[in-house]
Structure formats: C-alpha cells, structure tokens
Structure 1
C-alpha cells in the first residue's frame, strides 16, 4: 500500500492518534516499526514525508534521521517527534526539517505537511480527501470529517471504534472475521486477542443502539457483519 506519510514508531497508541488525525485530513499513512522496513519503504515509495518517533533520543542523537535522509536522497522531509523541550532543539538540527515536541500539537504537524504538499508539482498533489460517505440503514459515516450519525444524531466513537465501523460499512453483507478486523484496524505489530475485538465491537454496538435497533450481527465462531433494518410497510 502506498502512503503519503510513513510513521516510524513502536508506540501503537501514538500511531493510532496520528493515523486518525492525518487520514481525516487526506494524508494516507503507513506504520513502520522496524528501521529496515522504513528505509525500504522510503526507497520504494518516495513518500511525501516521514514522521520519526525520537521520543527516546537525546538532543543531537538523530542518526536515524540521517539514515532516512540518505535513503531518500535528502529529498524526503523528516519531522522528529520528541519528548524534549523545544528550547533544546532548533529548526537547523541536521537531517530534521521539523521538530515537534510533546505534547504534540496537531496543528503544527498539519502545517508542516500542508506546506510540503502545497509545493509539490500538480501531478503529485494528493489534494483534499475525496468525499467518502458510507451509508447503511439509518447510519451515515463520513471519512473526511470523521463523523458518524444515526437518524440525525451524532454517534461518538474512539478512533479505533471508528475504523471498525468503517470496515464493516465498506462491505456490510460480508462476515468479517476477528483476524480480518485486527489486520484492518490495528497496527501490524500490535498483539491483539480476539476477545479484544469483541470488546470494541460491543462499544460500537452500544453507541449505535442509543439511537436505533441493533444492526451489528454476530456470527458465532466466525465474526461480524451488518444487518439491514426491517423497513415499516
């Protein structure tokens, strides 16, 4: 899968947060957990940018960012995410185009990416996210606005729960196994038990059921699908 932004981190929660924010703004992302995987993806895909989790690095210890620059021919912008204070860094840090300090401000991150995209040739610009709205029964899910409504009521879901519902709504008649849902909605390196899927599907079901009958069908020993609601005559 081609991604505009490669995210290098071993922190699943950080990846899920960044994925939620960036994909809603039209930046496809992909997680790279191992350095070799990241460098290979840079050479093969020529991504828009790389976000490198340097939260465990001290100021000046950006050897990974230098290797990223070498793999991309110094043409791939790199943002380093760090827990250090902003005063310890400067924009002139070698091999780093932006330093984003914790607590991470999504506006600063998006400004960095939008600035890169605005300077691309027209044929490389991703542009704004296409309008992707999925509807099933009385449920509407908007990908660009990361919003779910049911019968006109806002349904509040976490980032993970939103992805689970999106996966179901893309192919509502298909019975999705727990392994399929794990592969589609969790980072590749995350260790997820089938029971964890059941718990999160339960959260999605309760959120939807506040405004209508149960639409998630459990197929025993297989997985989950969406049911059509009976329409009144």
Structure 2
C-alpha cells in the first residue's frame, strides 16, 4: 500500500497546496493528516478545506484543540494567532469547518501502525532527538505503547527514533529514506508542511510504500506566505522569519 502522511500545516496554504500537488503527481491517493492544520499561518480556512477534501484520516493537533478550547498555556504570540484563527473560521460562515476539527480523531491505529500528533501518550508530548540521552524513560514509555510503528509530528523535525538500540536519526542523516525492519519499534516523525524546524524551509511530508519510507521535500513560494503574515497584526514578525529560515 502506498500512502502519504503529513502534519503541522499551521495555516500555510501555499505549502499545503504544493505538497498535495506533489502527492498527486506521485499517484498517491491515500493521505493521513496528523493535525495542527491551523495556527501560526494566514490561511486557516483554506487549509481546513484542503485537508477535509483530501485526507481519509485526520488526527487533531494541539493547536487545533487549543483554537477550539482556549489557548491557555500557550505563549502570548501563539495565543493571539490562535484567537485570530478562530475568528477567521467563524467569520467564514460555515460551522462545518469547526465541526470537522472537533470531530478529528485523538489518534488512530491499525495492524500495529499508529498515528498520533505528539506521542502515543499525549498529543502535547514532544519526542525530541535529545531525549535519547536526556530522557530515555520518556521514550521507553512511548515505545511501551507502540506495537510496531508510530507516526507523529509536533516537533516539526523529520526523522526516526529506534527502540533498539535507542537512537535518533534525522531524515537528513538518512538521505530522506528509512527502511522499517520488523521487530524493531520505530517512532517516525513526518516533519512539517507549513513550519519546518530542521533548517530546510521547504515543506515536508512522508511517503510510505509498505516498509519503505521517504521524506519528501517540496519547494513552495515562501515569500507569498511571508507577505501575508506581514499584513496581519495578530501574527508575530518572527513567524515570517522562521518560515524563511526553516527554524
């Protein structure tokens, strides 16, 4: 089976459209979304529509949930962006968009393959590369809830954490390719469509062909998104800078 997994779109419709075009060009017709469709970007309405029309499984991210339930606990600039995002979705006049986000899954699993936003324990939990040394207990707890492979997003950094030996390999280190071997559990981060954090500003998603996995990087007109962000008072200027740098 061939399918694509993407996440952390964050209201960046230019990036999402480029990714979906690339997915279609590769002949992939099954797409999973790991959440954070909205937040931090200028086009939440368009992104919700594109995901709703394209993805056969959608998991709710922490930004999606906070936009719906309240942004307490987020830093001020993110809270402002989430409040603005909700205003845009409400002003668009179709309540089904908010209903779609409310009805998105907390997680999904089938045949030992799981899809989460953050980790098997929580949509809010980050699985960082540094945890291999700094917090191996957290990773062991995540693996205890993983049968074979867990696909996640949330950190915006593509790569894989293996259970044995406990280790992290970035997508860059792996030349954007990972072969899953049965018997060794893996926590696979699909990267970010709309807010990459690995130093590469191109949009990122994961293509899966049975046990073969490919991180795909897709160029898109970053400047268009940057210019739209610059015109929005609710959006912090550093969001545009981070888009340009992929950091």
Fold shared per TM-score above 0.5: no
Instruction: Give me the TM-score of the superposition, normalised by structure 1.
Output: 0.32
TM-score (norm 2): 0.30
Larger Rg: 1
